[in-house]
Amino acid sequence: MNDIKSFIQEKHEEINEQRKEREEFEEKMRRPADEYCEHDKKNATYVSEKIDGEWKWVSHSITCSECEISESTKRRAKDVNDVLSIPKRYQNTPNKSKYYKAYKKKQGILFTGFVGAGKTHETISLMKHVYIQEGVIMQFCTESSIINHIKEAISRNDVHPTTLTYAKCPVLVVDDLGSLNTSEFVRDIYYEIINYRYNEMLPVIINTNLESDEISENHSERFISRLIGMTEVIALEGEDQRTK
């Protein structure tokens, strides 16, 4: 019984000591003003807490969904180049694209224009914008890398998984479409990828410096038809950026 009384007495003394410390801390260190959330119309209140033996003012925020989104976009903007494996040359491209609304309208963009018009620059800027706003991870691919990947899969008799990789990825990004002359078999596989994405309404971000009749030299008419049908075509004009 005496042990219990002693334990209770010690706890009372400990509580009183903490209360005294808290009062001294709050008297000495003014409590920060409440933070007000414009979206949720609520205050985030500061309270005093003892952390690692030291009294501090701690914010017990009431974070609304809008604020959470804002914090998420800030974090993604910080890591965008690493997450998307952006080539070093293009890591300073803006994180915001003026073509984002056009992309959302049709869930796809086809940038066209002559060599040096800024198609790759705009492609990567749009990639960054989509990732930062939506958290969608995608891979920047040149057409040559995709076709080489398909050829390697053919040599291994492993075409189907490779096709699905490009057909089902969240966003398919292709740089320099129509730049390579390929076999009919490879073109057919490429078409199946685009056709699948067309049917499933999966987004693409693609650029090319060729007109549709020039693309048809390396891709079928049905490929071009699907591509035009699933994208907002943006023609980029201006001086060659690479010569500046």
Question: Can you list the domains of the chain with their CATH numbers?
Answer: 2-63 (no CATH), 71-243 (3.40.50.300)
pLDDT digits over 98-122, tens only? 999 999 988 899 999 988 889 999 9
Report which of 34, 39, 140 is spatially closest to residue 87, judged by C-alpha positions.
140
The 10 Å CB-count burial string (b at 16+, else e) for 42-64 is eebebeeeeeeeebeeeeeeeee
CB 112 within 8 A of CB 209: yes
Q: What is the mean pLDDT of residues 10-18?
A: 71
CB 186 within 8 A of CB 194: no
The letter for the amino acid at 79 is D
User: What is the CA 105 to chain-centroid distance, rounded?
Assistant: 18
pLDDT digits over 125-151, tens only? 999 999 999 999 998 899 888 888 888
Q: What is the mean pLDDT of residues 219-232?
A: 89
- The pTM of this model reads 0.68
Dihedral sign, Cα of residue 186, residue 150, residue 103, residue 117: negative
